[in-house]
Amino acid sequence: MKPKTSHVFILGSLCLAFYCLCTADKFYKNNNHEWKKLFMVHHWPTTVCKEIENDCRDPPDYWTIHGLWPDKAGECNRSWHFNLDEIKDLLPDMKHFWPDVIHPSPNRSQFWKHEWEKHGTCAAQLDALNSQKKYFGKCLDFYKDIDLNSILLKLGITPSISFYQLADIENALTSVYGVTPKIQCLPPEQEEDTQILGQIEFCFTRELQMRNCTDPEVDHPFLQDALLTDETFMSYGLSVCEDGPVFYPPPEKSYH
C-alpha cells in the first residue's frame, strides 16, 4: 500500500471510529438508558414461594434482597457478562442475604447473573457502582444499613395469621427511616381474599442518598421488574398494595 493511500485509510478509519462513538452515544440516550433513581428491593421469600410454586423448599424466614434497580434502564451493556470470580469475596453474604429462593443451590448464581446483566450494567453509570464487585457490594451495604428485618421486629410487625393495615406498616417504616418506601403486595385471587405482603422498596438518588419513593419522578412504570418480567426468576404478579388489610404470611416449611 502506498504511503498516501495508507494515510487516507488511517484517517478514514479514525473518522469511522469517531462516528461510531457518537452514534453509540446517541443510541444510548435515545434508548432511555439514562436513569435518575435507584430502588433497593427486598422481598419476602414466603410470598415469592407462594406465588411461584416451583421447587421452592424451606425459604428463608427473613427478608432477602431482590435487587438494586435503576429506574429507567435495562440491559445497558449486553457484552458485559456476569463473572462469579469478581464477587468471590462477597459470596458468604451473597448466599445468605441475596439467595435465589426458588431454584436449587447449584443454579443460585443465575439469579445474580440476571440482576447484573439487566440492572447492574445500567447502575454502572456511577463510579461507585461501575464494577460487579462495587454493584453487589453496595447493594449488600444498603441491605445491612436498612436492616429491615430488625426494624420490622422492633416495630412489632412480624409474620402473623392476623392482618395488618397497610397505612400502619407504611407509617411505621416512614417514622424510622424518615422516607416513605414503596410496599408491594400479591393481589387477592378472589374478592374475599386479602392481599399478601411481598416486597418493600427503598429509593435512592444518584448520589446514593435515601429519598421518598412517593415522589412522582421516582415512579418506574418501565420496571415490570418491580414484578420481574423474566419468568425464569421472580416473575410474580406484585403491584403496589391497596389501602386496607395486608396479610404478612408466616414462613411455611415448603411449597410445591
**Of 66, 103, 114, 220, which is the active-site residue?**
66
**What does the DSSP 8-state code read for residue 73?**
-
Q: What is the pLDDT of residues 94-133, one digit of tens each?
A: 999 999 988 766 667 999 999 999 999 999 999 999 999 9
Model pLDDT, residue 107 = 62
Number of alpha carbons in the 13 Å side-chain half-sphere of residue 94: 23
Model pLDDT, residue 237 = 82
Best CA proximity match to 120, nearest among 85, 74, 86:
74
Q: What is the pLDDT of residues 152-183, one digit of tens each?
A: 999 999 999 999 999 999 999 999 999 999 99
Model pLDDT, residue 49 = 87
Instruction: Determine whether 233 is exposed, middle or buried from the number of CB atoms within 10 Å of its CB (0-12, 13-18, 19+).
Output: buried
Cell of 248: 404478612
Element holding 196 (H helix, E strand): strand 196-205
Best CA proximity match to 182, nearest among 40, 73, 66, 47:
40
Looking at 49-53, 60-64, 231-235, which range is the least confident one?
231-235
Model pLDDT, residue 152 = 98
Rounded to whole angstroms, how far apart are CA atoms 77 and 118? 9
Q: What is the pLDDT of residues 196-207, one digit of tens each?
A: 999 999 999 999
The distance of Cα 214 from the centroid of its chain, to the nearest Å, equals 17
Q: Which whole-number Å values give the CA distances from 15 to 2, 3, 18, 21, 167, in the listed order?
A: 20, 18, 5, 10, 59
Cell of 93: 453474604
Rounded to the nearest integer, the mean pLDDT of the chain is 82
DSSP 3-state of 152: helix
Higher per-residue pLDDT: 199 or 5: 199
Model pLDDT, residue 224 = 41
For residue 208, is it left (φ>0), alpha (ψ between -120 and 50) or beta? left
DSSP 3-state of 222: coil
Rounded to whole angstroms, how far apart are CA atoms 9 and 190? 69
Element holding 199 (H helix, E strand): strand 196-205
Active site residue 119: yes
Higher per-residue pLDDT: 246 or 28: 246
pLDDT band at 234 (very low <50, low <70, confident <90, very high): low
**Of 33, 42, 51, 115, which is the active-site residue?**
115
Rounded to two decimals, the pTM is 0.80
**Of 33, 42, 43, 119, which is the active-site residue?**
119
Percent of the chain with pLDDT over 90: 61
The one-letter amino acid code at 84 reads L
For residue 105, is it left (φ>0), alpha (ψ between -120 and 50) or beta? alpha
